Amino acid sequence: MKLVIHRAGRRAPYELKAGDARVPLSEAQGTIILALLGNPYLRLMDLAEIVWADPDDMPDQWLVALRCRVWKLNRKLARMSARIVWRQDIYRLVETDPERIAA
C-alpha cells in the first residue's frame, strides 16, 4: 500500500491516504510530507526553509516550532504505519511496511 497526498479543500488543504485510511493535513503538514516524499533525507535547515519560504515568516523559536509540527504530524502518520524521524540534523520519513510509502 502507498501513501498518497493530494489537495483537499479549505478546511484541510491536503489529505493523506493509505488504502481506506484518510488523514486531513494542514498546509504546513502537507508541505512537510511533500518535501519528504520528494527527498527522503532532508537537512534540518532545508526543511525549515521549505516550511518558512520567506525568512521574515520564520519564528524566532523556529526549531521548537518545527519539532512541534513534526510531532503533531507523527501522531497522524502513526495511523498509517509511518513516521518522521530526526537524527543528526536529518529528517527522514520511515515506514513499518516497506510497500507503504512511494515517492
Among 11-20, 30-39, 46-55, 65-74, name the one with the lowest average pLDDT.
11-20
Span 30-59, pLDDT tens digits = 999 999 988 888 999 999 999 998 989 999
Structural fold of domain 4-95: Arc Repressor Mutant, subunit A (1.10.10)
Domain locations in the chain?
4-95
Buried b (16+ CB within 10 A) or exposed e, 66-93: beebbeebeebbeebbbbbeeeeeebeb
